[in-house]
Amino acid sequence: MVKKNSLIISKENKNTGSVEFQITSFTKKIRALVPHFELHKKDYSSQRGLRKILEKRRRLLSYLKKKNVLGYQRLISKLDIRESDSQ
């Protein structure tokens, strides 16, 4: 219960609707799912969910790159993710 409350408190201070926050949140979810797939290689429904999260993150990164190139570059370096080759 304490962990849940601390999560809520941390979200109150941040703009959870911002593109940067959403991309960061999706990246954390993706990194949490990777060890799961090392153990459960045939969990196809979770793989589908991962693909949906990856696609959402890709679209948000594309939007951020169009609107704020400097913010995009800072975010991908902070999160240590590769820059998209598309567009």
Short-list 55, 61, 59, CA closest to 75: 61
Query: Which tens digits make up the pLDDT trace of 2-40?
Result: 444 444 445 566 788 999 999 999 999 999 999 999 999
Report the CATH fold assignment for 19-80.
Helix Hairpins (1.10.287)
Q: 61-85 burial, b for 16+ CB within 10 Å, e for fewer?
A: beebbeeeeeebeebbeebeeeeee
Q: Do 21 and 15 meet the contact criterion of CB atoms below 8 Å apart?
A: yes
Place of tokens 């408190």: 9
pLDDT digits (tens, 9 = 90+) for 51-84: 999 999 999 999 999 999 999 999 999 999 988 7
As a whole number, the mean pLDDT across the chain is 86
At 2 the pLDDT is 41
Ranges of each domain in the chain: 19-80
